[in-house]
């Protein structure tokens, strides 16, 4: 089975959001990635639960919610989550990580833990029974249009090896940040399964959205 595409909605053309989503349906993307930021865990603000509610009314594509917020456990109930959705919380954002992941599971969504580039993969070894996926940030979170942190490519391979060697080969690896066509190929080779696609490969000015999605698909077979 090939890699899965999760378009970063914060990078979409908000003036034509419904049209963008209909095209992404045609491209059969597996998720829609919603970056939620609080201006504290990351120095930016982006999308929120109201926008997600509107998008939920126009598509059945499962949501991939990336909480870049302090104390995510206090905010999970704000989001209208559905079975099949992924919700990622940062290992660095709560002292009660296992309880937070359990809360996501109780909501019916699929829990995932996210790691900033500097956070070691071993920091989550005790919650692997509580997640369906691990999100490896390949840029420092907060903004679109950044450049890959080169060491994260090795980190993806290390994470994959660690998961397989410890009986967690079923856990998917999601990558987020500067997923360009070239980087996507390298990330796929390193073991990534889900690709958050933003300005680097999908929402590129002057390039037809369906064409860019099909091109990305070819890079992650």
- Would you name the residues annotated as active-site residues? 35, 176
Angle between helical axes of 17-26 and 209-219 (0-180°, round to 10): 40
| 193 forms part of the interface with Zn ion (CB under 5 A) | no
Contact 168, 193 (CB under 8 A): no
Nearest approach in angstroms of CB 66 to ligand DX5 is: 6
User: Can residue 90 be called a binding residue for Zn ion (CB under 5 A)?
Assistant: no
Check residue 174 for interaction with Zn ion (CB under 5 A).
no
Pick 94 or 212: Cβ nearer ligand DX5? 212
CA 191/CA 159 separation, integer angstroms: 8
As given in the structure block, the two tokens for residue 150 are 């080169």
Which residue, 85 or 176, is less far from Zn ion as judged by CB? 176
Does 212 engage in binding with ligand DX5 (CB under 6 A)?
no
Q: Segment 108-167, which members bind Zn ion (CB under 5 A)?
A: none
Residue 24 interacts with which of Zn ion, ligand DX5, none, CB < 5 to 8 Å by class: none
Q: How many CA atoms lie within 13 A of 97 on its CB side?
A: 19
Q: Say which entry of ligand DX5, Zn ion, none residue 111 contacts (CB below 5 to 8 A, set by partner kind).
A: none
Length of the chain as a residue count = 221
> Which among 75, 76, 77, 80 is positioned nearest to 57, based on CA atoms?
80
Find the part of the chain contacting Zn ion (CB under 5 A) among 13-21, 30-38, 79-87, 150-158.
Answer: 30-38
Our CB check for Zn ion shows the closer of 177 and 191 to be: 177
Spatial CB neighbours of 38, under 8 Å, sequence gap ≥ 6: 45, 68, 69, 70
Answer with the entry of Zn ion, ligand DX5, none that 142 interacts with (C-beta below 5 to 8 A by kind). Answer: ligand DX5
The C-alpha atoms of residue 61 and residue 75 are separated, in whole angstroms, by: 22
CA pair distance 140, 117, nearest whole angstrom: 6
Q: Which of 142, 160, 183, 187 binds ligand DX5 (CB under 6 A)?
A: 142
Closest to ligand DX5 by CB, 107 vs 178, is: 178
Q: What, of ligand DX5, Zn ion, none, does residue 146 touch, CB below 5 to 8 Å by kind?
A: ligand DX5
The Cβ-side half-sphere exposure at 157, using a 13 Å CA radius, reads 9
Separation CA 194–CA 217 (nearest Å): 11
**Residue 66 C-beta: closest distance to Zn ion, Å:** 4
Which stretches of the chain bind Zn ion, using CB under 5 A? 35, 66, 176
């Amino acid at each position: 089975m090939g890699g899965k595409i999760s378009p970063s909605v914060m990078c979409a053309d908000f003036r034509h959001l419904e049209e963008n989503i209909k095209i992404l349906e045609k491209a059969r993307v597996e998720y829609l990635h919603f970056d939620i930021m609080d201006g504290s865990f990351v120095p930016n603000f982006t999308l929120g639960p109201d926008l997600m509610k509107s998008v939920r009314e126009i598509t059945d594509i499962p949501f991939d919610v990336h909480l870049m917020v302090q104390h995510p456990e206090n905010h999970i109930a704000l989001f209208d989550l559905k079975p099949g959705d992924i919700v990622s919380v940062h290992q660095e954002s709560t002292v009660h990580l296992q309880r937070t992941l359990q809360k996501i599971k109780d909501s019916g969504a699929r829990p995932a833990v996210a790691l900033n580039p500097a956070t070691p993969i071993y920091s989550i070894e005790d919650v692997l029974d509580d997640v369906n996926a691990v999100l490896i940030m390949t840029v420092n979170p907060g903004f679109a249009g950044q450049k890959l942190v080169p060491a994260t490519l090795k980190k993806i391979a290390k994470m994959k090896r660690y998961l397989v060697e410890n009986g967690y080969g079923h856990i998917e690896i999601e990558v987020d940040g500067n997923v360009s066509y070239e980087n996507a190929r390298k990330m796929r080779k390193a073991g990534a399964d889900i690709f958050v696609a933003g300005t680097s490969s999908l929402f590129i000015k002057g390039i037809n959205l369906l064409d860019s999605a099909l091109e990305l698909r070819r890079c992650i077979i």
